Structures are given as C-alpha cells and as structure tokens.
Amino acid sequence: MKKLFIKTYGCQMNVYDSDRMTDVLAPLGYVPTGTADGADMVILNTCHIREKASEKVFSELGRLRMMKDRARDQQGRDVTIAVAGCVAQAEGEEITRRAPWVDIVVGPQTYHRLPELVTKADPAARHRVIDTEFPEEVKFDSLPGEHAPRGPAAFLSVQEGCDKFCAFCVVPYTRGAEFSRPVNGVLAEARRLVAAGTCEITLLGQNVNAYHGEAADGSSWSLARLIRELAEIDGLTRIRYTTSHPLDMEDDLIMAHRDVPQLMPYLHLPVQSGSDHILTEMNRRHTNDVYLRIIDRLREARPDIAFSGDFIVGFPGERDRDFADTLSLIDKVGYASAYSFKYSPRPGTPAAGSDEQVPEEVKAERLEALQQLINAQQFAFNKRTEGQVMDVLIERNGGRDGQMAGRTPYMQAVNVAADEALLGKIVSCQITEAKQNSVVGVIQ
C-alpha cells in the first residue's frame, strides 16, 4: 500500500478531477491520506485563474521540496511529487525550471494517463515526465468505471473547456475548447453515484449550460434534456449545475427550472460587471439588460429561485461610473451570495495587455464596497429564511458533539442538532437563526 495525498486548489472541477485521480491510481495500490507528511506521492491539483492562485503553488512546492529531502535523507524513502491542473497546463516548463524536484507535470486533459506517468517517472533517478497534451483520446472514456463512494452530495463533470474567450479568462487556454461528455457516460456515472449513496449531484462544466452531449441515437442533448433524464433516477433528489454563461440560458433550461422539482431553486449565474461598456470590453457578448431579463424569466419560471454570481472589479478601463453600474445591478438582482475578485492580468489573455489597467488601491476600494453590499444581501437573504421550514441534506458531522452540518436547497450551510444516523438523509428543518455565512436549524 502506498499513500497518496492530493491538495486541490480552485474550482469544483478540480475537486472532481482530484477524486478521479484517486480512482485512477487506486489499482496501483495508492490509498488516499489526509496529509502530505508520510505520503509516497503528493499531487498538487492547481488553479491558474488568478495570479494569487498560481503563486500559491510555487510556495507549496518549496515546502514539499524540504519534505522530499527529509524523507530521502532520514528514511531513504522517495516521494513522488506531481503538479496537475491548470498551472501544470499553462506553466509546465516553468514548473520544471523553478522546481526541478517535481517528478510529474500533468494537465487536466491527461490525468487518466497517471499510471503510465508514475511508472515512467523515477524520483530516485530524477527522471521527470511532462504530459500537457490535448490528446485525441477522450479522457472520460479512459477513466475507470469504478469509483469510491462520493458521499451524499457529489460533483459530476459533464462539460469542459470554453469557446467564449472572455477577455480576462485563461480557461480557453488551460482547459481547451468546449467539449460535452456523451449522455450515456454521464447517466451511467450518475446511476453509480446514486447506487453508492449520493442523493445530490452537481453537474459541472466551465460553461455547463452550453452542454450539448451526444445521445445513443446520435442526437444532441441540451443540459435541460439531460437534467430531465437525470430526474428520472430514483433516489436522486437534488440536481444542481454550475457554472453558467447568461447567453446559454436557453428557454428549455429556464423551463426545466419550472418543471423539474429536483432541480434546486438556486443558480450561480455570473455577470462579472453591471456596466455595458465593461461587458463589451470583457467580450461577454451581452448587456446588463439582457442579464436582468434572464433573471426575471427565471423568477417567473421558479418564483422561489435565488441567485449567486461572480464579479470582477478593476477590469482595465473600469471607471467610477462603470463600478456604480455594477453596484446598481447587484441592488436590482438581490443575490443570496456572490464571489468577487480584483481583476488579475493573466498571461496570454487579451485584457492583460491593455494600457488602461486600474491601480491596485482603486481595485481594493471597489472590492471592499462591493463585498459590503454582497454581505448585506447575503445576511438579508439568510434572515428572510428564518422561520421557514426547509429540506436539509445532512452532509457531515458538525463542529460540535451532537451537531451535524447540511445544506438547504439554497446552499446555505445549516448547523443542526442531529444524530449521526441522519448522515446522507434529507430532513425537514425549521430555520431558527440566521448568521452571515450559515443558519441554524431545528429538525421538525
């Protein structure tokens, strides 16, 4: 038995990929472990979306170097170090130059080849391997059918890559062109997850609502069609999907929110900015008005739906009045939560070369103002749920004895006094107290 530690950065797709890497390496005798110390192999599954995320990898690699040296000097043991994910894809050469103690560099499209790569790499002989191809064969076809149980709420990647080319974003370069998994593979994986105890599935894709997977009869299925089919699986009580682009919010998907009770009334629909000028510069290809109309239509279809979003402040050329438009859009939508970021110039993306970069202090001020507004909206949302009775999926042990933690349909974290036997069950809870980032519930 060999111990495998995977540290995951970035988005949920990376969380899914890390689980799949564990599956791929299981036949070689690798068993997951909770810390890097004592592991025989450490994989950093990295994120390249913002500079901070990338830089973290290099500081972590510094720590791993010391660990590797200690293991060799004190125990005569070789530790294999691998860098996977989007930094590996974008900066493979740079990694081997700055961190020559890394044995394997593998991109998001080739981690199904890990067993081969592990065999080829020889830490003792300092033989390194790099695999950051966009291969002909389809990764999903080569991943093992079997996998470890994923728990009550699981991720399922159905789409990867992006053809939208927003001016700030590295995804089209790190994850490549848009690709949808064929329907049958997705359904089979969903059925396996449910058979192993999962009752909530979040369908993942960088542009998930652009999904157009090939069905058995050769036709192409939209995400809405896929969701309707998944809803037929007995025991699959909750379906979510993320992340979506407003332009791909087709009618049939909006109607699925009306018709499919398993589809949770909570949608992550990033808009990035509320200014039409900035939206154009970002190459988002829609206006602030188009976004608001989509929100309205979703609310008509599913009146209790709540939204989360992503915002970038300080995109090149963003003036005070553009930022004011963003605050005004946030006011109009009323989010249940949102993620917000300072614009980070990424190598190779169009906006990185703009000479209208916004000073760091201005970005910091705007981020602070935006986060205050979002925090207020989030608290107001949590407050509105006080007194309501909601279904809560119990997902794990809570912080304290006798306490379990779960999620409402709106992804609110709920702490509830409950027995461990309720793990994986959906229970009816009354929300008794709202906090900033969670709520307290009492089982009915």
Q: 32-51: which residues touch ligand SF4 (CB under 6 A)?
A: 47-49
Q: Pick the closer one to ligand 5AD by CB: 67 or 369.
A: 369
- The one of ligand 5AD, ligand SF4, none whose footprint includes residue 110, by CB under 5 to 8 A per kind, is none
Q: Pick the closer one to ligand 5AD by CB: 54 or 198.
A: 54
- The one of ligand SF4, ligand 5AD, none whose footprint includes residue 326, by CB under 5 to 8 A per kind, is none
State which residue has the least CB distance to ligand SF4.
10
How many residues sit close enough to ligand SF4 to count as binding (CB under 6 A)? 14
Q: 191-220: which residues touch ligand SF4 (CB under 6 A)?
A: 206
Q: Pick the closer one to ligand SF4 by CB: 257 or 346.
A: 346
Among 4, 5, 6, 11, the residue binding ligand SF4 under the rule CB under 6 A is 11
Among 47, 129, 158, 312, the residue binding ligand 5AD under the rule CB under 6 A is 312
Task: Rule CB under 6 A: say whether 307 interacts with ligand 5AD.
Answer: no
Task: Rule CB under 6 A: say whether 168 interacts with ligand 5AD.
Answer: yes
CB of 61 to ligand 5AD, least distance (A): 22
Q: 40-59: which residues touch ligand 5AD (CB under 6 A)?
A: 49-50
Q: 247-276: which residues touch ligand 5AD (CB under 6 A)?
A: 270, 272
Residue of 50, 74, 149 whose CA lies nearest to 367: 50
Task: Rule CB under 6 A: say whether 107 interacts with ligand SF4.
Answer: no
Task: Rule CB under 6 A: say whether 278 interacts with ligand 5AD.
Answer: no
Task: Rule CB under 6 A: say whether 15 interacts with ligand SF4.
Answer: no
- The one of ligand 5AD, ligand SF4, none whose footprint includes residue 48, by CB under 5 to 8 A per kind, is ligand SF4
List contacts with ligand 5AD (CB under 6 A): 49-50, 168-169, 270, 272, 310, 312, 341, 343-344, 346
